[in-house]
Structure 1
């Protein structure tokens, strides 16, 4: 548009110069008329070009009701539902479309959120063993910060699904990443540090010395949630890691099943993922034990299908982040809009602490209550992550991107792994009895010890193991 405007200015300037030159040289008016007519025609053409460009840009700015059939030039638009999210399937369809922050590469603000989520899970565990998770609004909030696990799951869903969402938007065949390479990367990232944690918990904690080979194998293979007696001191929090590993194994099946939903058909990916997430809210409502479909001692509420909504929240964000910006992306453009999203996410979390609606503390909820809590937690995770990944590329989040939170985020896996052992050690260190109401004493010691353990785990265990295994 700038080049067209410049051409218009040049043509207009030429017309003025021609008129001046004609007057000065005394050329007859009849001889100058062809030159003037030519200049006028050029001016009219330039004006029409400018108007046409303006109309095109206005059409791009308004969400269209069609998706592009593919990435090839001249492809006819495919009519279909837009679902209110984006205007096209090809993220490179027009250079005027701003790229979203989560469309590719490392997103520093997500690292900060992950660090906060790790501290949130730690806080709930401290509140539980100090009897500070019930009785008041603040304590009830302490007792529900473990729902930050939903943020972990949604973040994993987002990062692992993003490449395949972009692949489908570009109308490329097959899948974006070889399954074998992907599974190897997950095992290299998760298992070395976790295996060391299992050995430490089993050998260091005296109460675990009664555990036999079956318990060792179940915990080392992250299959303990499929047994009736999986609680092991120092490893009770690993149920969420077992769920996450199950989804790591399932993701290749999901993206293979959806590989044909690309190009024009990519518009169906969002409803398909939404249906997958909704299945996680239905699963715990089914009376599996009464129907004789699951063993009596198996806890349905820690089985992987019960958490589909949490992973689906991240998968939906991956689809939105790799598509041309739509309605939700426009709601994230303003710097202040992020606070609206985060306030809504906080309200969703606070809703799970209302005693009239949900049980307090670590009481085993009924199926309906569990499904409602899981749905609210998945919504909270979506609202927390959306303003980060759907913001325009280059948007800054000073607090989340600050050096301290980046460090905590980098160490978050180690913090999560080791905080239970640190918490157990905090009681004798502070001369506190288990269940004493001294959260103000136990919490800072546990946080400090977990940060140290997470830093050491990252530097001396996770990174060396990853480099060694990747070389092989």
Structure 2
């Protein structure tokens, strides 16, 4: 598979399919939270840990977006255009996001007026439209609370070109994978160090636990996968998936802290960060390392999973608002009701809304038709949103 074909829009179905697992996992954990399943015991930990879908998204984005810079080091390609990269990211992310924000604010302005709503008013609207709602308490809006992760990922998009440039400078003269991995490993220390800083700094904003540095290691892990894909020719898919499942299961224990995205203890925060990293990398690695066509690759290439994966970004944008509406429609109060029923109802309705939003915004970020090419190392970068 030539690099020119990759730039033309080639896509690996399984990499799109795994996005559906990530999106459904996030929806499931939110359904569990809204129906009161985040209890301080093993079942509560189980429901809460499906937030690992966020780590899957971050690792996958790091892998896909860093590949053009890997080509600079190992294929002597010219440096990617930062302007073109930025424009493509903005076109892919912002239209669906802005439409969602406007719709949610409209719903809470003219229809739902009896609930406590954070960040109501023009200042909250501006905060959410500019993805700055995570900086300071009280700016997350009902129906949009999941967007803290998108705010973090946008920071990674901005940081990627300078970080990638540094890696290229270090490795370009002598393109050795180990040098690139060591350089990225240094950047991967950002998140553990951030956890220590946040825990030991008096007066730091509580929302700092949700800022981009707290989860940068996951993104860097995906970048390291992009380097490893150039040299790893064999990878045991079954063993890799089992390692990923085991890491996920360990995260259910108290080692990873209480059922929340950001545990209060430094040790638990770091353990959880690393367990999610291992799980996400282990689940994605069989799709990008060694020869493709293994059982995991074939499973995630199943057409329904690929179809959901194609609209997973739009699904992510709308599912919390849909969830809140489904709770009302089903007659459930917050922290009550059937998790399974809420999850299924939210998934079905969100898929329909996401499909419409996807079709509405696609002419902006993907004019024309894209080709699907299932070949080693190929993936459709446009689906990393």
Sort the TM-score into its range (normalised by shorter chain): 0.7 to 0.9
Distance (Å, rounded) in 1 between the aligned partners of 2:46 and 2:119:
35
**Local SS of the residue matching 1:457:** helix
C-alpha contact (below 8 Å) 2:36/2:334 kept by paired residues: no
Gap regions ≥5 residues in structure 2: 369-385
Q: 1:105 to 1:262 in 2, by over 3 A?
A: farther
Residue 147 of structure 1 aligns with which residue? 52
Q: Are residue 109 (structure 1) and residue 17 (structure 2) matched?
A: no
**Local SS of the residue matching 1:264:** coil
How far apart are 1:409 and its partner, in Å?
Answer: 0.3
Residue 318 of structure 2 aligns with which residue? 418
Report which structure shows greater RCO (CA 8 Å, sep ≥6): 2
How far apart are 1:305 and its partner, in Å?
Answer: 1.0
Residue 266 of structure 1 aligns with which residue? 176
| C-alpha distance after superposition, 1:106-129 (max 9, x if no partner) | 221111110010000000000011
How far apart are 1:279 and its partner, in Å?
Answer: 2.1
How far apart are 1:155 and its partner, in Å?
Answer: 0.5
| C-alpha distance after superposition, 1:164-212 (max 9, x if no partner) | 112201244x52x100000000000000110011111111023549722
Distance (Å, rounded) in 2 between the aligned partners of 1:154 and 1:361:
20
Q: Are residue 217 (structure 1) and residue 107 (structure 2) matched?
A: no
Residue 187 of structure 1 aligns with which residue? 90
Where do 1:320-469 residues align within 5 Å? Answer: 320-321=228-229, 323-325=230-232, 329-330=233-234, 332=235, 337-355=236-254, 358-361=257-260, 364-393=263-292, 395=294, 397-459=297-359, 461-467=360-366
Q: Are residue 237 (structure 1) and residue 139 (structure 2) matched?
A: no
How far apart are 1:353 and its partner, in Å?
Answer: 0.8
Normalised TM-score (structure 1):
0.70
C-alpha contact (below 8 Å) 2:191/2:215 kept by paired residues: yes
RMSD of the TM alignment (CA)?
Answer: 2.6
| C-alpha distance after superposition, 1:9-44 (max 9, x if no partner) | xxxxxxxxxxxxxxxxxxxxxxxxxxxxxxxxxxxx
Distance (Å, rounded) in 2 between the aligned partners of 1:362 and 1:311:
16
C-alpha contact (below 8 Å) 2:82/2:161 kept by paired residues: yes
C-alpha contact (below 8 Å) 2:74/2:175 kept by paired residues: no
Gap regions ≥5 residues in structure 1: 1-90, 93-100
Aligned residues: 355
Where do 1:58-137 residues align within 5 Å? Answer: 105-134=10-39, 137=42
Q: Which one of 318, 332, 335 corresponds to residue 226 of structure 2?
A: 318
**Local SS of the residue matching 1:144:** helix
Residue 377 of structure 2 aligns with which residue? none
